[in-house]
Structure 1
Amino acid sequence: MMNTKFSEDIVPIGDLKINPGKIIRQVQEAHRPVLLTNRGRGVAVLQALSDFESDAEERRFMKGVLKGMVDLEEGREVSLDDAKKHLNIK
């Protein structure tokens, strides 16, 4: 899990306008998202694309695991042999 550094990770949107390269390098190197603020209120989150993709993949995986657990609890299961046949795996 990422640890937020409030002194670095909360940035007024004006700072992004002044020096976007610095903020982008920060999120890429620190692997922590930056909260952009406007007049003291959070308005957006800036995150490195690789971190965003990794987080999205992890969420999809965890949703699949949870769905599988619910299916098992509700009796929706098949044998390994039936699954292999359905997926054409030998």
Structure 2
Amino acid sequence: MLGSGPSRQPQKNWGTSSEKGRLYFITEYVKLFCKEFKEIFYMVNVNYAEDIVPLSSFRADMTRLMSQTKATHRPIVVTQNGRAANVFLDVADYQQLVDKLDLMMDIYKGEQDIAAGRVHSTDDVRRAIASDLGVSI
């Protein structure tokens, strides 16, 4: 099994093709992380002139504000007694935000595993998968 085998410490020398492939993978991983973070940042960007409304206005104009969040992909900040009380967001945008945050957490956990040396070689992973599937490689 994959979890029961010995783990390998990451190596510092990136000279072999396998190590260069690993470096490329890590580089692409970081690019993806930065791209996802940037998209999340822009998704929750608020237009202060249009996207902050008092609760009374929100109640009176809910249909238009629902259409606005769907069209602009920006949240509506609802205030109560002059202070931010709630955020109203289109459900598809909310799900996308949650999915991206989950991906970022997975990346973070992977980075922790790499730093702690909880890594396996490609050959070990292939053997474990083949064993689980009952095939030989």
Q: Fold match, TM over 0.5?
A: yes
1:15, CA displacement in angstroms? 1.0
User: What is the TM-score when the length of structure 2 is the normalising length?
Assistant: 0.60
Gaps of 5+ in 1: none
> Could you give the per-residue CA deviations for residues 3-22 of structure 1, whole angstroms, max 9, x where no partner exists?
32111010111112112101
Counterpart of 1:31 in structure 2 is: 73
Counterpart of 1:7 in structure 2 is: 49
Superposition pairs of residues 24-63 of structure 1, within 5 angstroms? 24-63=66-105
Is 1:67 aligned to 2:76, yes or no? Answer: no
What do you get for the CA RMSD once the two structures are aligned?
1.8
Percent identical? 28
Other structure's SS at 2:120 match: coil
> Could you give the per-residue CA deviations for residues 28-72 of structure 1, whole angstroms, max 9, x where no partner exists?
101000100011111100001111000100000011011111101
Q: Who wins on radius of gyration, i.e. which is larger?
A: 2
**Residue identity matched to 1:72:** I
Change (3 A) 1:85 1:51: farther
User: What is the TM-score when the length of structure 1 is the normalising length?
Assistant: 0.88
